[in-house]
Structure 1
Amino acid sequence: MTRFRPYLMALLIAVLPAAALADALTGDVQKQGTNYIAIGMFLAFILLTLGITKWASKRSSSTKDYYTAGGKITGFQNGLAIAGDYMSAASFLGISAQVFTSGFDGLIYSIGFLVGWPIILFLMAERLRNLGKFTFSDVASYRLGQRPIRFLSALSSLTVVAFYLIAQMVGAGKLIQLLFGLDYMIAVVLVGCLMVLYVLFGGMLATTWVQIIKAVLLLSGATFMAVMVMRSVNFDFGQLFAQAVSVHTKGEAIMAPGVLVTDPISAISLGLALMFGTAGLPHILMRFFTVQDAKEARKSVFYATGFIGYFYILTFVIGFGAILLVGTNPAFQDPAGGLIGGANMAAIHLANAVGGDIFLGFISAVAFATILAVVAGLALAGASSVALDLYTHVLRGGHVDEKAQMIVSRVAVVVLGIVAIVLGVVFEKQNIAFMVGLAFSVAAATNFPILILSMYWSRLTTRGAVIGGAMGLITALTLTVLSPTVWVDVLHHEVAIFPYKYPALFAMIAAFAGTWVFSVTDNSAGGKAEREKFFSQFVRSQTGLGSSDAVDH
């Protein structure tokens, strides 16, 4: 199974920030036979979503419609859409593969991806909606200097989006080769073009409904698989685990933790990246402005947490089910005795085992559709940073009409699509595992500190936020380059200068320490005014004023 490991890693980094799951992406993915059922179902999904895009285009004439769907998405719908942004091919295929190979340790990542949501629910959702209008930069700059804060926020957001998009495009190419039997170039161009179409014409409304449809399909397919697995063991979890232990090559070791994370520093740093990186992802934060008020924003997180938690329970059951129904079935073994396609195909083979060719085609199509949904959200977040933050507020000082904003946004979407396709081709055979970890580390060390301190710390000043945020961004970038993932795996040095794979712990310390030092020592007139402004804005946010519109700057 060793020779299939690169294929697994390609899938793991495709959507979710499973930096800890990602190893070197090396070698060529072996093209599979053409799966016409999967292609047909995927084409049906494309036609449906393009129809939705056409419908949404007639309702996306203003900037509010384009960026936030007019604030008319309900809490339940937004919760499903957020879950659709977060549930992915990587979590479905990757985590189930981790459970298939390592057992209990696969659950670590399910929990790690989930724990960030209570932070968003209790600390951020309400204030995000009350204080913001289009992007989280509205919130971060509501009482600070517009240009420097928006410039830093846009820089960090575009960094996250860029590295995430590269991972998406490369993962899409590898995934479509495995599941559909099509060429890598076709997959990359297809994803890039569809991403542009969804966002260019449909905006947030189309993106939201693409996410909702994808979430429903993925939850339905995963539920069917889990039910069929439990049916095979008479719905007895004890029997499921006992049988898995009896047939797995690792025996009882699959029920014990400690295989994937071996030292406390790495464990803490990984946990911080997963937890606080989630709370700093621009395409996730942007979703809180699609609902009409703070109450609906809280509902969004509540429903999203439920859907995501349920989904990760399903992946755990699917992983153990694959041990029983796939790992011991000769039909899914290659001549060397390993799983055909590698461990990453465990869930796909399980779909075939429990539902035949038709259900296999359905699951394959849904797995690829998840990437389309996520890249659309990323593209919209990137376009909003360019048009609203950089162009409108940094370059033009806020003096831009709505028509000009829309033109810049749509141009930015097209440029992002072209760049994504080019980078997807350029990085096809490169080690891109570090990019996912870097995206989450930047979100945790730059976006999250600025956002949370602007909401809760009265002594925060523009100087402190800019310097501290920049320190977090630079630290995350530098330590990633010096880490074993890049310094050894990519640059081929013998020993890494920075010994840990995950820089979030150190980057977050740099960001918070820098922000605190340069804020408390800021005795300028502007710094004092910014501290005083906090209290008036804080009262306004708590009373609900500004829940429909952004706080005036």
Structure 2
Amino acid sequence: MTRLLATFVWLLSGGGGAALAQTPVAPPAAGFNVTAITFFVFFVALTLAITYWAAGRTRSAADYYAASGQISSTQNGFALAGDLISAGAFLGLSGLIFGTGFDGLVYAVGYTLGYPLIVFFFADQLRRLGKYTFSDVIAFRLAPRPVRTLAALSSLSIVAFYLIAQLVGAGQLIQLLFGLPYLYAVLGVGALMICYVMFGGMVATTWVQIIKAILLLCAATFTALLVLAHFGFSYERIIAQAVEVHAKHSAILQPSTFAASPWSTVSLALALFVGAAGLPHLLMRVFTVPDARAARTSTFWGCTIVAYFFSLIFVIGFGGLAIVGSTPAYLGANGAPIGGGNMVAIHLSHALGGNVLLGLNSAIGFATILAVVSGLTLAASSAVSHDLYANVLKRGSASDADEVRVAKYATLGVGIAAVLLGIAFEKQNIAYMVGLAFSISASSNFPVLILAMYWKDFTTRGAVVGGSVGLVSALVLTILGPPVWLKVLGFAQPIFPLDPPTLITLPLALATCVIVSILDRSAQAETDRALFERQRALLRDDASSSITEVPGGMSA
């Protein structure tokens, strides 16, 4: 098997595969790469063709937001995986492992462990109670206008941090391979994501995510096999080489960074574990399938696919450290990878398979970013159009046409804002930025969602006050902490030490929700508590897989 893979790589790279040659192939210069551009053009053309096809099938709000619930459980499982496996996973985690070793794997494990919460606690309940967004669920038994406003603001904040990560990865990738300035690279990605969502809606987004998930799984599997083949299928040899080339040597096999700040480690673990259950672009996926059973099944398959992918990161990450870290031509004068830490996986591709594998994996990485930003942009635009415009401003009286038109305007606005933020956060590691999005999700959406579905005494006032406390505290402490105060604004010391702040903000949000709800004796609170029993009755009824809203925040 080793010899077969070696021969294939040799042929793939024109008889000179860097992983097998005595002298590694020279790394790609930041400039015009014909092979990479060919693959890029092919994938962009394919996704634009999908968007054109989907535009003809997107006629109503149900089509635009949820593909009219016509996506099968298998298709949605791959699309969900496509949403989960972002640039932060493929590019960012490889960079984190290159820099910190074992510490980078904590993110991979955390991402994987958090998603089963959606399967066991949310998937089928969301599908039975909701329509397009998770705010439909909390508005089922709570006053719709205030809780939808909170949910929209929270979703937009989460999406902003997540979009920053994807755009930074895309900008650095295109900058390295095309020689374009980072600014133009981010502008190009922003234009494509606006196009996909404005014209194709959920149908286009779903199929872009499905295709991207399949391609990325194949690429990651093949790359991992090539790494193993290079080291004689011995993971021990990979680790030994990684330890040898890293400046900290055997210390990279220990949680050194996390051990130095244990409270931040616990805070990060908490954010990754519960944050996934509040991510708006993931929760939207459960509304694209026909019924609650399909929602649960598709979420299970999505989590399984994601777990397999992250297992490959253990090989690709340390393989990148061992191979790229021992090849001076891939490193700058300071020992960092050329193009930044997010480019380790790209350099590894070139080392293993020359320009062909480099171009293929770069294009697939780019497709990964396009798929994820499409889902994020759709979630943000739906928060504006469905929650704020249709249900808060218009009180449920907006027509489908008006709602979709506002969604498209919102898509344009979100795209412009995301590009500006992507430019501001150019130097940040993208896996790290995704972790911040999880932190905000864990502190705002998650407490409100789980209490609305499982605690009978939860009230509108408790949701609004508690959710607002979680959202504001997460944003403020993130700005005052190392992520922004130190690494973006450049101050010498952060005002707030925890990174991320979830260990403080999540308990604070939950406690506020509970205390305010218990003390709430308003007429609305009595209505909220009474509607809990009706909600439970619908959740017990397996036949209730299609629920439509009626005025007043209730459903029928």
State how 1:262-411 maps to structure 2 within 5 Å: 262-329=260-327, 331-333=329-331, 339-411=337-409
1:79 aligns with 77
Residues 218-272 of structure 1 deviation map (CA, whole Å, 9 limit, x = unaligned): 1111111111122233333334434544555443333323334522321111111
2:526 aligns with 528
Pick one of 457, 460, 472 that aligns with 2:458.
460
2:3 aligns with none
**In 2: Cα distance, 1:493 partner to 1:467 partner:** 32
1:235 aligns with 233
- AA aligned to 1:257 is P
Q: Which deviates more from structure 2 when the two are superposed, residues 461-470 or residues 345-354?
A: 345-354
SS of the equivalent of 1:141 reads helix
Residues 163-216 of structure 1 deviation map (CA, whole Å, 9 limit, x = unaligned): 333443344323321233222232122112111111111110100111111111
Q: Is the contact between residue 258 and residue 264 of structure 2 (CA under 8 Å) also seen in structure 1?
A: no
**In 1: Cα distance, 2:253 partner to 2:430 partner:** 31
**In 1: Cα distance, 2:237 partner to 2:273 partner:** 33
1:484 aligns with 482
**In 1: Cα distance, 2:471 partner to 2:331 partner:** 45
Pick one of 166, 169, 172 that aligns with 2:167.
169
Q: Is the contact between residue 272 and residue 438 of structure 2 (CA under 8 Å) also seen in structure 1?
A: yes
- Alpha-carbon spacing, 1:393–1:166, altered in 2? closer, same or farther (3 Å): same
- Alpha-carbon spacing, 1:335–1:141, altered in 2? closer, same or farther (3 Å): closer
- AA aligned to 1:96 is S
- AA aligned to 2:414 is L
TM superposition shift of 1:468: 0.7
TM superposition shift of 1:43: 1.0
Alpha-carbon RMSD across the aligned residues, in angstroms, is 2.5
Residues 114-158 of structure 1 deviation map (CA, whole Å, 9 limit, x = unaligned): 111111111111101111110000001110101011111111111
**In 2: Cα distance, 1:434 partner to 1:38 partner:** 27
**In 2: Cα distance, 1:495 partner to 1:536 partner:** 51
**In 2: Cα distance, 1:400 partner to 1:300 partner:** 31
1:444 aligns with 442
TM superposition shift of 1:36: 1.9
Pick one of 197, 200, 203 that aligns with 2:198.
200
2:54 aligns with 56
Q: Which deviates more from structure 2 when the two are superposed, residues 539-548 or residues 440-449?
A: 539-548
For structure 1, list consecutive stretches of 5 or more residues without a partner in the other structure: 1-29
For structure 2, list consecutive stretches of 5 or more residues without a partner in the other structure: 1-27
- TM-score normalised by L of structure 1: 0.89
**In 2: Cα distance, 1:494 partner to 1:323 partner:** 30
Q: Which deviates more from structure 2 when the two are superposed, residues 190-199 or residues 251-260?
A: 251-260
Q: Which deviates more from structure 2 when the two are superposed, residues 238-247 or residues 251-260?
A: 238-247
- Alpha-carbon spacing, 1:435–1:289, altered in 2? closer, same or farther (3 Å): same
- TM-score normalised by L of structure 2: 0.88
SS of the equivalent of 2:71 reads coil
**In 2: Cα distance, 1:342 partner to 1:298 partner:** 39
2:249 aligns with 251
Pick one of 411, 414, 429 that aligns with 2:412.
414
How many residues get paired?
524
2:9 aligns with none
TM superposition shift of 1:496: 3.1
- Identity fraction in percent: 52
SS of the equivalent of 1:182 reads coil
Q: Is the contact between residue 151 and residue 389 of structure 1 (CA under 8 Å) also seen in structure 2?
A: yes
**In 1: Cα distance, 2:429 partner to 2:294 partner:** 41
Residues 397-436 of structure 1 deviation map (CA, whole Å, 9 limit, x = unaligned): 1111212112211222222223333444566579999965
Q: Which deviates more from structure 2 when the two are superposed, residues 447-456 or residues 367-376?
A: 367-376
TM superposition shift of 1:304: 1.3
**In 2: Cα distance, 1:323 partner to 1:394 partner:** 51
Residues 59-108 of structure 1 deviation map (CA, whole Å, 9 limit, x = unaligned): 11111111111111112211111111121222212222333343333221
1:211 aligns with 209
**In 1: Cα distance, 2:104 partner to 2:430 partner:** 22
**In 2: Cα distance, 1:415 partner to 1:519 partner:** 36
TM superposition shift of 1:285: 0.7
State how 1:124-163 maps to structure 2 within 5 Å: 124-163=122-161
SS of the equivalent of 2:260 reads coil
